Amino acid sequence: MQNSFSRELAHSLAVMLLEMQAELEEFAYQMDQAPQVTATGSSLVVESQAQA
């Protein structure tokens, strides 16, 4: 019984980690596509990735 529980727990954790990795990759992709905001003096300058 405990062995079965341990296997199910390990499987659930592995699935959760794979899903989290996919979410982080999607977030990183979205951040790469978003305009970059940089502070210069007292004003903010927005740059797109295409200009950089």
Q: So where are the chain's domains?
A: 2-47
Q: What is the pLDDT along the chain (52 residues), one digit of tens a residue?
A: 789 999 999 999 999 999 999 999 999 999 999 887 665 665 656 665 445 4
Q: Decide: helix, strand or coil at residue 25.
A: helix
| pTM of the shown model | 0.59
pLDDT given at position 35: 83
